[in-house]
Structure 1
Amino acid sequence: MRFASYRRAAPRYRRFCGVCVFGFAAFAAHAQDQAPSGGSAVATPTGPLGAPPASALPVAGVSAPASSGTTPNVRALTITPSISVTETLTDNVRLTERNRRADAITQISPGITVSSGIGRIRGNLDYRLSGIFYARDGSSNNVQQSLSAAGNAEVIDNFAFVDASANISQQSRSAFGTRTVDPALDGGDQTEVRNYNLSPYVRGRLANLANYEARLGYSLTDTSTKNADVSTTSGSLSVVGDRGPGLFNWSADASRQAYKYEVGGRTVNDRARGTLFINATDQLRLSLIGGREAIDYPNQPRDAATTYGYGFDWRPNERTNLSGQREKRVFGDSHSLVFQYRTARTTWRFSDTKDVSTGFNQAPVGSGQPGATYEVLFQQFAAIEPDPVRRDILVRQYLLQLGVPAGFLTLQRRQELAVSYQAVRQTYTLTASQSKVQQLDRNAQVNPITDFSNPVRLRGLSANVSHRLTPQSNLDFRASIDQSRESGGQSRSTDLRALSLTWSGQLGGRTSYSLGARHVWYDGDNSGYRESAIYGTLTRSF
């Protein structure tokens, strides 16, 4: 049996994981000391391979029952072990167009969820180790890790803090490799991506005139293929004027980000800017921006330029928000446009951003917006998980399968539209996205498989319908289309379409189940396949 994903982890990343887990355990112990006596809330279990639990996906096509109980907004220390068993019967385990081979896949996924909601340490950790076993091909057996963790520590009262987060997931190496909707089916393009972040910072006030924050950061992204590995060090200082209500306000910030690639050298981005805010009315705020920016690419002259721009933020009422920003940057123009509107039963959100991105499913750097799909899911998940920190992890777990390969600096324009409608027993969600990605630093990534030196356009569309059958069970239907197109070069393209129907529910307070079926169509330049499967999952928390 070969356990490739786990075995290839380099010693320095295993040590980093150990430090993170030890640190969180210490945080948890400290939080437990400060927790009030009495029973603690039971944490919501998560599904295998780091996917959200069936009961936590009311709008994603794989959801299960709404919780019958009420979850408190503030949780004491909670440690919840769990185990999931998933059985999948597929008619095309090798994802080939010809010589299709059926197989039965068994996934056994022990895991642990830790949550701390009071005291100096607040955060959540969800870790799963999934053993995947193939009935007809034991040589393909493997182990996959899944980790989603985020926490904050208040080191000195109202002054010094530390943010930390970690994620491990299975992602595509390339926008043009053989893709799949199930990590247990590897078409040769899958890699394990491990991302760790640590950021200490201090914040306070300056003579009752302004608020400041000084922050250091370290981020490490490691993949099984190594060609996309990158570590990032950063430092930033921001000062925001605070003299009370008035016509004008101001802010100033400076930052440095250094990206060190496993293959391709080091890239440094320096930026400083000032912003003048004009409070035109109680609902409308305007801004003028000016500054300086420079990017140092390996083996290239320093690229520097004066930056300038403008922005606005219009909030006519508590349900409507329209904001925008446009800047002239060293690499060209950047912009951000966000529209949000909600009613008692609907949520609408549109965003259009263009900025620098570092991969690993991150929104463009500096956009300040996590994305339309994220926002809609974050609001929809509120009924399942009121705690905003745990809800953030829950949504990000579900969205980890989306995005572009990790590990390089790109110029990305992304447009997203997300609409949801909540009826009495149904939830309807429609999401659409389009991204245009081009690598900025061509020396940073030399692997031609993941080459983004030519512009690549990524499109996605999904529709979800969730129907609550009983207070303890749901029926969910999902249809999705994902496309990638290369402009110039080899003009590569891929299309992935999928349909799924899932019935899920609760068996008591600690056991959940889901049964489903799917059909997938994939077409690429050099490969294509059709795959159908039925699957079932049983999850037990302790």
Structure 2
Amino acid sequence: MVAITMKAPENKNRHIALFSAVYSAATAMLLLPFYSYGQVQPQFGLSPLAQPQLMQGRDAPPEAAGPGGWRILPRFSLRETFSDNVRLRPEGEARSDLVTQINPGILLTGRARRYDVNIDYTMNNLIYAELSDFTRTRHQLNARATAELVENLFFVDGRAMMFQQNASMFGPQGIDNVNATGNRADIKVYTVSPYLRHRFQDFASTELRYTHSIVESDTIALRNSQRDSFQAGLNSGESFRTLQWGFNYSNQMIHFDRSDRNVELERSAANLRYMVTPQFGLTATGGYERNSFISIRGGTSSPTWTVGFTWEPSPRTSIIANAGKRFFGDTYFALARHRTRLTAWDVSYVEDITTFNQQAGFGGINTAGSLNQLLNPNINPGNIQPNTQFLLGQGIPGDALNFLTNRLFLQKRLQASVAMNGASNTVVLSIFNMSRQAYSPDDVDTELVGGENLALLRHTRQAGANALWSYRISNLTRANLSGQYAKFYFLSTDRVDDFRIIRLSLTRQLRQAQPNLQGMVELRHKERDSNQAGADYRENAITASVNMSF
């Protein structure tokens, strides 16, 4: 079998990309001038729909709250990285290079009673001393806004994201934009979601929501998509404390560009929850799902049901779990969270029929987010994210890869993490296990990966573990050690890849020179061992950086 690398373009028109970022930020600010503070009754019997869920009103985590008004926080970072294998090539083909990154950025936040806006943008300029053809500019945007347009009735959520990721599982796996692998793709996600909410006093609450989202990529062979989603729910209110009920409906229609492919995913269900005690409840759902897409694994529609429980023994601990049947067979869902003064624990298991486009921007457990809560529980995560990422070097690697594919697939995803923070030590541990089984024919990915590699994506599994230890040497200095091990299984073939990453860094706040100036030095080793000939590589790199906010 011949292994190929998807050619994700390394150079794009910079002015067009910058215009898209500015346009997205301006749209979020102009479109959403009011804040939503309504609250949705949870669909306690159903697994979450496989689509991005926008933070909204009191559904947003409490740490997102902050003082009213607008705040602008410019920032700038300069990074120098020397790599002895900047393209992650096999032994004998390695090329070393010095890469300079000049990264201006800005964080804009605005909050009032009827609006909440958070826009975080970074321009990632990469300059290669030797391989100058790879010099380029990347744009990274995370913008969200929520608004209350008509008090207690009409709301709008919006989200815009621009980010980079590895395109394929079998190509070289970069952990940032420095490695010029040809396996890096730019992804853009735009979402707008108007909705109506109403409370019938303590009897019930209802929500009617429409969502339109666009997913785009600079990888031409990946079909861009538009998704139109309709959701309706009627759920019992405070009057029903012992026996709670709900009716929920969802319909998603996905169109893939440059093709005649359309996918429809529809689900209707009724929910019941019986509260055995004020903290413990038994749940059940029953309904029907009607899906319309070309399947290689039989029927796509059937009755659906689940049974399970909810348990909230304290405000800091909650567990939701259920099991049942769907058209693809047995199905399971679990979500558990626990917080103490010094620790944050998260476990989740989700399975659903989905697409790359739906998963773009929809992650599992956010380990870095949990650490943000632990270190700064009362500060807006957007404000402290740069400091937390600085603490970690370049963040926590090792989340399962949402690799590019045009197929529908059954995804089963398990994630667990714990973050522990002491007076001098911070420790983060996480594990993940994600499998994907294709439900669409192979030929929809022919242009993307080539005919000889189609079997690689029929059935895959990713499993791994990550560990971080950060030691506070003084009030201004930290030492950080992190390691990752991941294994990629291509279950329709005999290929298996092993990944190892280890990083050691020293970070220091340089207050003598500038109050908001920080510096970092990092050593990194990265390697892949594969039973596929020509797929092994090794890299050693050293990075020095300074970061400043104004």
Which residue of 453, 456, 460 corresponds with 2:460? 456
1:541 maps to 2:545: no
Which residue of 507, 519, 524 corresponds with 1:518? 524
Q: Any conservation in 2 of the 1:432–1:460 contact (CA below 8 Å)?
A: yes
Q: Which has the higher relative contact order, 1 or 2, with Cα contacts under 8 A spaced 6 or more apart?
A: 1
2 CA distance for matches of 1:398 and 1:538? 16
1 CA distance for matches of 2:76 and 2:147? 29
What is the Cα deviation at residue 360 of structure 1?
6.0
SS of 2:463's equivalent?
A: strand
User: What is the root-mean-square deviation in Å for CA atoms of aligned residues?
Assistant: 3.3
Deviation sequence 1:412-460 (CA, Å, 0-9, x none): 1111221232221101111111111122333654433685752101012
The aligned counterpart of 2:43 is: none
1 CA distance for matches of 2:221 and 2:402? 15
SS of 2:313's equivalent?
A: strand
Which residue of 502, 523, 526 corresponds with 2:505? 502
| 1:155/1:399 CA distance change after superposition, 3 Å | farther
Deviation sequence 1:270-294 (CA, Å, 0-9, x none): 1110101111111211111111101
The aligned counterpart of 2:402 is: 404
The aligned counterpart of 2:82 is: 89
Q: Runs (4+) of structure 1 moved beyond 6 Å?
A: 13-16, 299-302, 391-397
Alignment of 1:82-481 (within 5 A): 82-96=75-89, 97-206=91-200, 208-228=202-222, 229-262=224-257, 265-298=261-294, 303-359=300-356, 362=359, 370-371=364-365, 373=367, 376-383=370-377, 386-387=379-380, 402=399, 403-406=401-404, 408=406, 409-442=408-441, 444-446=444-446, 447-448=448-449, 451=454, 453-481=457-485
SS of 1:219's equivalent?
A: strand
1 CA distance for matches of 2:358 and 2:518? 29
| 1:252/1:398 CA distance change after superposition, 3 Å | farther
Counterpart of 1:437 in structure 2: which amino acid?
A: R
What is the Cα deviation at residue 4 of structure 1?
4.4
2 CA distance for matches of 1:341 and 1:462? 20
Question: 5+ residue gaps in structure 1?
Answer: 33-69
Counterpart of 1:280 in structure 2: which amino acid?
A: V
| 1:184/1:507 CA distance change after superposition, 3 Å | same
SS of 2:182's equivalent?
A: coil
The aligned counterpart of 1:530 is: 538
The aligned counterpart of 1:73 is: 66
Q: Any conservation in 1 of the 2:275–2:281 contact (CA below 8 Å)?
A: yes
Q: Any conservation in 2 of the 1:31–1:116 contact (CA below 8 Å)?
A: no
| 1:511/1:462 CA distance change after superposition, 3 Å | same
What is the Cα deviation at residue 154 of structure 1?
1.4
Of 270-279 and 446-455, more deviation after overlay is shown by 446-455
Aligned residues: 495
Deviation sequence 1:94-120 (CA, Å, 0-9, x none): 222214222110111122211112243
SS of 2:112's equivalent?
A: coil
TM-score (norm 1): 0.83
1 CA distance for matches of 2:274 and 2:360? 27
The aligned counterpart of 2:48 is: none
2 CA distance for matches of 1:196 and 1:15? 14
Of 102-111 and 294-303, more deviation after overlay is shown by 294-303
| 1:424/1:71 CA distance change after superposition, 3 Å | farther
Identity %: 24
Question: 5+ residue gaps in structure 2?
Answer: 1-8, 36-62
Deviation sequence 1:40-89 (CA, Å, 0-9, x none): xxxxxxxxxxxxxxxxxxxxxxxxxxxxxx99832421122222211111
Q: Any conservation in 2 of the 1:288–1:311 contact (CA below 8 Å)?
A: yes
Of 77-86 and 462-471, more deviation after overlay is shown by 77-86
Deviation sequence 1:320-376 (CA, Å, 0-9, x none): 3322012311222221123333433333332222223333694999xxx94374663
Counterpart of 1:404 in structure 2: which amino acid?
A: N
What is the Cα deviation at residue 155 of structure 1?
1.1
2 CA distance for matches of 1:147 and 1:185? 20
2 CA distance for matches of 1:72 and 1:235? 29
What is the Cα deviation at residue 16 of structure 1?
6.5
What is the Cα deviation at residue 476 of structure 1?
0.8
Deviation sequence 1:16-59 (CA, Å, 0-9, x none): 6565322234369x689xxxxxxxxxxxxxxxxxxxxxxxxxxx
SS of 2:483's equivalent?
A: strand
1 CA distance for matches of 2:227 and 2:65? 37
SS of 1:77's equivalent?
A: strand
1 CA distance for matches of 2:19 and 2:101? 27
1 CA distance for matches of 2:398 and 2:466? 14
1 CA distance for matches of 2:484 and 2:175? 10
The aligned counterpart of 1:492 is: 495
